[in-house]
A = this chain, B = another copy of it.
Amino acid sequence: MILEIAQIDVKPGMESEFEEGVKKAAPIFKRAKGCTGVTLHRSHEMPSRYRLFVQWGTLENHTKDFRESADFQQWRKLVGPCFASPPYVEHVTEVVRGF
């Protein structure tokens, strides 16, 4: 299990449109191979900054299966116009579950 963390800065004033776009995109992620969840989180310190968390079975489910799919274009069509800059993406794996 891999967690994709995408840090996304949106154009100031487009926060609601971006959040709506992510809501509309939920079915895209739901049908993506290996995708088991997607949530969007908004920063307190920088209200135009978000973290999109996407859970994937494998790294390739994201970097290959999803990014090379037509649905990826669809996803970017829904939210891309809101981006202030290209998203910064990292993948992480849970190594400690404290409680």
CB contacts (< 8 Å) of A94 on chain B: these are 39-41
**Copies of the chain in the assembly:** 2
Distance of A75 from chain B, by nearest CB (Å): 11
| Chain B contacts for A51, CB-based, 8 A | 5, 92
The docked-state distance in angstroms from the alpha carbon of A96 to that of B26 is 9
Q: In the complex the two chains form, is B30's CB within 8 Å of A99's CB?
A: yes
Minimum C-beta distance from A96 to chain B (A): 4
Interface size on A, residues (CB 8 A): 34
Q: Which of B26, B46, B59 is within 8 Å of A98, CB to CB? A: B26
A71 to chain B, nearest CB (A): 13
Q: A91 on the interface (CB 8 Å rule)?
A: yes
Contacts of A41 in B (CB 8 A): 3, 92-95
A29→B95 contact, CB < 8 A:
no
